[in-house]
Amino acid sequence: TQLLEQSPQFLSIQEGENLTVYCNSSSVFSSLQWYRQEPGEGPVLLVTVVTGGEVKKLKRLTFQFGDARKDSSLHITAAQPGDTGLYLCAGTNAGGTSYGKLTFGQGTILTVHP
Amino acid sequence: GAGVSQSPRYKVAKRGQDVALRCDPISGHVSLFWYQQALGQGPEFLTYFQNEAQLDKSGLPSDRFFAERPEGSVSTLKIQRTQQEDSAVYLCASSPEGGRRGTEAFFGQGTRLTVV
């Protein structure tokens, strides 16, 4: 069974601070995605990374996929209250037939105070 | 439709009652997934359909859980004889293709089931 360990579980910061969320596994994933989920809504895709060592930037968000495709990080610069939400990493299986089944981490609940 | 639609949004069931949760995926999407999300946790995979074929049901927690997608579009997740541990948000997701790494999954808003 492939597992994704996400940390920290909770993060409470002030507006303008930087933060990093980590997603680690002992297993290799063929791709890794980051989602953001707001209360009462389903997860919304932020980014997909597929190549080891890949770095993607989305405005103030920077995503990195580890060289061995076992870990990933999400860095937010100058956090804003609108960034508040549940952040989820999710991987798809490497090898065999993959139909896009997602294995999720436990999530990081981010609160950004004005 | 514009997105994945799930109904009902909220369901309160008495322990032992049967429930049926509906998912309308994005029109034309081949893949459909059901996930279960406990409060404050990440979603966990339940089952997968490619068109009308249920190719993976390894995540269904017991034989009280049953899912179908008879015409390859709308799907229903049925839970028989509900128990308190079934209380969770049930998410449906669809994606346009039958299987390729990194394919985006579009999620519905979920159905929050509370068993009392």
Condensed to tens digits (0 to 9), the pLDDT of residues B38-91 reads 988 999 999 999 999 999 999 999 999 999 999 999 999 999 999 999 999 999
Q: How far apart are CA B99 and CA A31, in angstroms?
A: 12
Q: How far apart are CA A81 and CA A109, in angstroms?
A: 13
Chain A residue at shortest CA distance from B55: A99
* A residues 9..48 contacting B (CB < 8 A): 30-31, 33, 40-45, 48
Q: How far apart are CA B21 and CA B6, in angstroms?
A: 8
Total residue length of chain B: 116
Taking the CA of residue A105 and the nearest CA in chain B, the distance in Å comes to: 6
Q: How far apart are CA B60 and CA B45, in angstroms?
A: 8
Q: Report yes or no: B109 and B2 within 8 Å, Cβ to Cβ.
A: no
Q: How far apart are CA A29 and CA A11, in angstroms?
A: 26
Residue whose token pair is 């949760």? B21
Taking the CA of residue B77 and the nearest CA in chain A, the distance in Å comes to: 17
Token pair of A87, please?
């952040």
- Mean pLDDT rounded to a whole number for chain A: 92
Chain B residue at shortest CA distance from A109: B40
Whether A99 has its CB under 8 Å from any CB of chain B: the answer is yes
Which residues are paired to A5 by β-bridges?
A24
- Cβ–Cβ of B95/A44 closer than 8 Å? no
Query: Is pLDDT above 90 for A96?
Result: no
Taking the CA of residue A99 and the nearest CA in chain B, the distance in Å comes to: 4
Per-residue pLDDT tens over the stretch A21-69: 999 999 998 889 999 999 999 999 999 999 999 999 999 999 999 999 9
Q: How far apart are CA B34 and CA A7, in angstroms?
A: 25
Chain A residues within 8 A of B48 when measuring between CB atoms: 99, 101
Token pair of B54, please?
């249920």
Whether B21 has its CB under 8 Å from any CB of chain A: the answer is no
